[in-house]
Amino acid sequence: SKGDKIIEEGEESYSIFIIIDGKVHVYKRDISGAMKFMDELGSGNFFGEISFLTGKPRTATVVAAEDCTLYEISKEDMEKLEESYPQIKSVLLDFYKIRILDSLLAFSPLFSELDADDRKYVLTKFKPDIYQPNQVIIQEGTEGDFLFVIKSGKVLVKTKDIKGREIKLAELGPGDFFGEVALITNTPRTATVVAITKVGVLKMSKSDFLEIVQLYPSVLEKGIEYVKRRAEETITILLDARKGKYLE
């Protein structure tokens, strides 16, 4: 029935649901604990595949947006189906990857104000890439040609003072982005970014980024906010560095 909670974020259940008719709404909690609307799913769609594939607790809450009919397939029954139809797992994995990436964008400060359909379009502009530990991802002083969103792993952001000493600016992780300063200001890279661990990223070219900010002004507004914030943070860190707080 409308308003019924079908699955709840954090609970341990692993079945998959297929929507026969009606609609459901998908929500995830942000870092403050508030529920964020993610998507609306209708007839023919399914959900619950992430917990089924990973064996981890539910990553989202799904609520009936109206009276709807669902078909629930238990983990055991789905595994039996996979034995007869191996392609099922491939389909589930494809949807799993898309939904994980959509969640990444939904909670990235740069794209958090976009709705589900807009995020799906933005995702088409990203290409995945992987960097190994200690590999330089962007080099200070070079031309800015990509925006990066971190899927997994950690990176170190650093710069040099006027005496050539390296100074740590930040460590970034999943959901964080970098590379926006050069694209928005059309200036060379203002910092070097190095992989601390193995890092998975999504990369968007400069031309695609310029298209996206024209289509979605909120992305540009958020980007400008972060350019200003990072400039202020860099100034503060550089001033501290004069007191001997250099990169260790």
Nearest-angstrom CA–CA distance, 206 and 110: 15
Q: pTM for the full model?
A: 0.74
In this structure, CATH architecture of domain 5-107: Sandwich (2.60)
Q: Going residue by residue through the chain (248 aa), what tens digit of pLDDT does each one get?
A: 899 999 999 999 889 999 999 999 999 998 788 899 999 999 989 999 989 888 889 999 999 999 999 999 998 898 888 888 888 888 888 888 888 888 888 888 889 889 989 998 999 999 999 999 999 999 999 999 999 999 999 999 999 877 778 889 999 998 889 999 899 988 999 899 999 999 999 999 999 999 999 999 999 999 999 889 888 888 888 777 666 555 54
φ/ψ of 138, rounded to 5, equals -135, 150
pLDDT digits (tens, 9 = 90+) for 128-153: 999 999 999 999 999 999 999 999 99
Is 70 exposed, middle or buried (CB count within 10 Å of its CB: 0-12, 13-18, 19+)? middle
DSSP 71: E
Rounded to an integer, what is the distance from CA 170 to the centroid of its chain? 19
Pairing of strands 199-205, 126-131: antiparallel
34: tokens are 């508030």
CA angle at 8 for the pair 24 and 63, rounded to the nearest 5°? 20
Superfamily of domain 124-241: Jelly Rolls (2.60.120.10)
Q: Give the H or E element holding residue 121.
A: helix 116-123
Q: What DSSP designation does 200 have?
A: E
**CATH 2.60.120.10-classified regions of the chain:** 5-107, 124-241
Q: DSSP class of residue 22?
A: S
Beta-ladder partners of 72:
17
